[in-house]
Amino acid sequence: MKNSYFDDAISDFDRDYRRKKITNLFISALIVLFGASSFIYGLHLEPVPTIFRFMTVDGTMFTTIGSLIYIVANMIEIWKKTEVTNVVVYFIRLSSAVAETVIFIVVMFSQLPFFPEHLPVVDRYDSFIMHVLIPILGVSSFLVNDSPIGKLSALNRFHGTWFITCYACTIFTLIGTGSLEHDLIPYFFLDVTNNPWYITAIAFVFIYGSAYIMAWVLSEWNRKLSWLWFKDVFKRSNQKKGE
């Protein structure tokens, strides 16, 4: 009887584990499809390399590439029935979730009545995909579907800011090489020629600090919510114990 109970519990766990991975695989595939198509659509409006000046575009590409990596990891996990997601893959996904959270918060803030100029959210395909759909898909999938790697230390939470570093390298390369004309600099604090250097420094400290806090919050909620897939297994186990 005891062996039968354990066999049933393991079977239920394997079934829910497989469903979790297939769901994550499906959502990651959607992100890749929408991310690539919105980028291609955007190229009709703004050419390379100036299209990479926006954090939204770079964040979308970062998340798309991260989702592609996770598709491979998920396929191996489903095939071999074992967890292969390592800390590097997890931090890529965490940083993608941080990037998409930043994008979503900024775009939602821009829609408030007191904001002088609203960002276009639903009037263009690429804008809706990058500002709304991918952030919702990416963050929700990370929170519920990604396998946690344990409680992150204060130092490891900085890994969630990888995207901010990637964006900083991209935008300063575009500005420094002259690939981006002065009037195309997207954010005022990046204009180091017309602003004191400490404005840029303060802005990036604030951005990195915000991303660090988001990485901590998202990783904590991922640890809590990722077990929702297996709640029925635990519920049945508790019922058995009470019998």
pLDDT at 1: 46
For residue 216, is pLDDT > 70?
yes
Q: Which two three-digit tokens encode residue 45?
A: 């409006």
Q: Write the CA distances from 16 to 6, 36, 149, 159, integer angstroms.
A: 15, 30, 19, 29
Mean pLDDT over each residue of the chain, to the nearest integer: 84
Q: How many domains does the chain divide into? A: 1
| Sign of the torsion angle spanned by Cα atoms 110, 111, 115, 120 | positive
DSSP string of the chain, one letter each residue: -HHHHHHHHHHHHHHHHHHHHHHHHHHHHHHHHHHHHHHHHHHTTS-TTGGGGSHHHHHHHHHHHHHHHHHHHHHHHHHHTS----HHHHHHHHHHHHHHHHHHHHHHHHTSTT-SSPPPSSSSHHHHIIIIIHHHHHHHHHHHHSPP-SPPPTTGGGGGGHHHHHHHHHHHHHHHTT-S-GGG-SSGGG-TTTS-HHHHHHHHHHHHHHHHHHHHHHHHHHHHHGGGGGHHHHHHHHHHHH-
Q: What is the reported pLDDT for 223?
A: 92
Average pLDDT over every residue of 207-215: 94
Query: Between 141 and 17, where is the model more confident?
Result: 141
Domain of residue 221 covers: 2-242
**CA pair distance 51, 214, nearest whole angstrom:** 26
pLDDT at 21: 84
> What average pLDDT score do residues 40-66 get?
90
Q: Name the phi and psi angles at 44, rounded to 5.
A: -75, -20
Question: Can you give the pLDDT at residue 190?
Answer: 86
> 74-133 pLDDT, tens per residue?
888 777 767 766 788 899 999 999 999 998 888 777 665 555 565 666 678 888 899 889
Mean pLDDT computed over 162-171? 92
Share of residues in the chain with pLDDT > 90 (%): 40
pLDDT band with cut points at 50, 70 and 90 for residue 240: low
Instruction: Name the residue with higher pLDDT: 240 or 76.
Output: 76
Q: What type of residue sits at position 128?
A: F
Query: For residue 48, is it left (φ>0), alpha (ψ between -120 and 50) or beta?
Result: beta
Residue 45 burial (C-beta neighbours within 10 Å; 0-12, 13-18, 19+) = exposed
Residue that has been written with the tokens 């600090």 in this structure: 209
- The string of pLDDT tens digits covering residues 72-88 is 888 887 777 677 667 88
